[in-house]
């Protein structure tokens, strides 16, 4: 069986590492060459700290193809990816195309495969924010609709698909757990302190990159006003995407001196930051879950989240970009009785389950 794996953005590299390791373990057990994986890097995230470092740290195979498509509008990027991925698929003739999450790379990979009648497996299927203004929501909904194997991380994701009628369509829905939980367990012992961080100082970990926040000057200013108030009480470590830095400069926002802005970090550095922080303030989808994995409360500066089970279990708190809401929730965290001892994302064997599902699939 040959699989073409499409990656392009930071979280997808981490997820791909889980599956690559599971494939290697399966091949060792059954004999080399049973499952062949060809990795295609679209180049969607092109910064050295946000791409190459992950392949190095995760010890996964270098991609056989690097399409180097980036810094374009959504339409131009997706269209160019579609063209280039189609060329790869014509050459490789895989049994499966494996896509992750909700990026332009995800949609382009799924669409190219489907038009060539190649089976598509979507990891993190069924997630919904129910906000069709988010490019990610459009990508995930369209990818789900053309996927053959819908690999859902949670009960909520399965329920979303069934409510949309997917159980009556020609596909297979599987609740397999979350690959990011596998990664957190496997790599936690390799956590590495980022350069320039004082490990004896308490801090809040924050990331801000979501387009709905960074492209709106008033929202971005409100978030940084809230961060400034929080930083007056507890230092904030803020790994910042280059694009967000440009937006801060564009909107003339001056971060408080107690907000320590650092360059984007690798996965092992992020694990260290999660392990040592007191809480997380983010608009990232993945970091909400990772905060839960490391038993840290999370304030999500968005109006909605795909990970509703975190809200339901009172470990994650939605505030939007409203400064008063963000600071109020932060001030109340110490009084909350937060219970992290609940199984939401599987047993840490999601990679193995996905490999078995790909091999067992019949249509």
Is residue 125 located within the same domain as residue 144?
Answer: yes
Domain residues for the domain of 33 are: 2-178+347-360
Structure confidence at residue 148 (pLDDT): 98
Q: What is the mean pLDDT of residues 45-69?
A: 73
Q: What is the CATH number of the domain that holds 354?
A: 3.40.50.2000
- b/e code 203-225 from CB counts within 10 Å (16+ = b): bbbbbbbbbbbbeeeebbbbbbb
CB 4 within 8 A of CB 35: no
Known catalytic residue at 209: yes
Q: Are residues 280 and 327 in the same domain?
A: yes
- Are 31 and 69 in a shared domain? yes
Q: What is the pLDDT of residues 229-262, one digit of tens each?
A: 999 999 999 999 888 999 999 999 999 999 999 9
Domain identity same for 220 and 164: no
Domain match, 154 and 104 both: yes
Residues 6 and 150 in one domain: yes
Q: What confidence tens digit (pLDDT) does each residue in 154-198 have?
A: 999 999 999 999 999 999 999 999 999 999 999 999 999 999 999
The predicted structure's pLDDT at residue 26: 95
Task: Give yes or no: residues 208 and 150 share one domain.
Answer: no
Residue 183 included in any domain: no
- Encoded tokens for 241: 């995407």
Q: Give the model confidence (pLDDT) of 88-135 as tens digits.
A: 999 999 999 999 999 999 999 999 999 999 999 999 999 999 999 889
Active-site residue, selected from the candidate residues 41, 122, 209, 241:
209
Q: Is 110 found in the same domain as 26?
A: yes
- The answer to whether residues 140 and 127 touch, using CB atoms and an 8 Å cutoff, is yes
Residues 351 and 322 in one domain: no
User: What number of residues does the chain have?
Assistant: 363
Whole-number pLDDT of residue 50 = 47
Residues of the chain with pLDDT > 90, as a percent, come to: 85
Assess whether 165 and 214 both reside in one domain.
no
**Least confident piece of the model among 37-46, 145-154, 294-303:** 37-46
Number of domains in the chain: 2
201 and 137 part of one domain: no
Domain contains 340: no
pLDDT number for residue 54: 60
341 within some domain: no
Q: How far apart are CA 65 and CA 329, in angstroms?
A: 45
Q: 246 with 220: CB under 8 angstroms? A: no
The model's pLDDT over 266-285, given as tens digits with 9 standing for 90+, comes to: 888 999 999 999 999 999 98
Its pTM stands at 0.89
Query: What is the C-alpha to C-alpha distance for residues 345 and 342, in angstroms, rounded to an integer?
Result: 9
Residue 184 lies in a domain: no
In a domain, 275, yes or no: yes
């Amino acid at each position: 069986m040959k699989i073409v794996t499409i990656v392009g953005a930071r979280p997808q590299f981490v997820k791909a590492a889980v599956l690559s390791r599971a494939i290697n373990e399966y091949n060792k057990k059954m004999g080399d060459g049973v499952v062949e994986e060809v990795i295609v890097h679209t180049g969607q995230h092109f910064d050295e700290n946000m791409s190459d470092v992950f392949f190095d740290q995760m010890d996964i195979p270098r991609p056989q193809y690097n399409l180097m498509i980036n810094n374009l509008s959504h339409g131009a990027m997706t269209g160019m990816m579609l063209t280039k991925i189609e060329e790869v698929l014509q050459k490789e003739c895989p049994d499966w195309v494996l896509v992750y999450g909700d990026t332009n790379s995800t949609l382009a990979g799924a669409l190219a495969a489907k038009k060539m009648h190649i089976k598509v497996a979507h990891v993190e299927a069924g997630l919904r924010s129910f906000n069709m203004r988010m490019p990610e929501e459009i990508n995930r909904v369209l990818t789900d609709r053309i996927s053959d194997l819908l690999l859902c991380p949670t009960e909520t994701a399965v329920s979303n698909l069934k409510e949309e009628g997917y159980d009556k369509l020609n596909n297979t829905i599987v609740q397999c757990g979350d690959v990011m939980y596998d990664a957190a367990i496997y790599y936690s012992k390799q956590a590495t302190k980022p350069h320039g961080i004082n490990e004896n100082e308490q801090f809040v970990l924050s990331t801000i990159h979501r387009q709905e926040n960074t492209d709106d000057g008033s929202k971005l200013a409100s978030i940084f006003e809230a961060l400034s108030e929080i930083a007056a009480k507890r230092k904030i470590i803020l790994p910042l995407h280059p694009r967000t830095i440009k937006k801060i400069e564009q909107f003339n926002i001056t971060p408080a001196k107690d907000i320590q802005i650092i360059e984007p970090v690798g996965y092992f550095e992020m694990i260290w930051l999660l392990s040592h922080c007191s809480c997380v303030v983010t608009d990232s989808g993945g970091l909400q879950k990772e905060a839960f994995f490391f038993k840290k409360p999370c304030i999500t500066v968005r109006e909605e989240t795909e990970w509703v089970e975190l809200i339901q279990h009172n470990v994650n708190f939605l505030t939007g970009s409203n400064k008063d809401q963000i600071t109020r929730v932060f001030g109340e965290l110490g009084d909350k009785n937060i219970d992290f001892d609940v199984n939401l994302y599987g047993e840490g064997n999601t990679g193995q389950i996905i490999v078995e599902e790909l091999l067992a699939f019949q249509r």
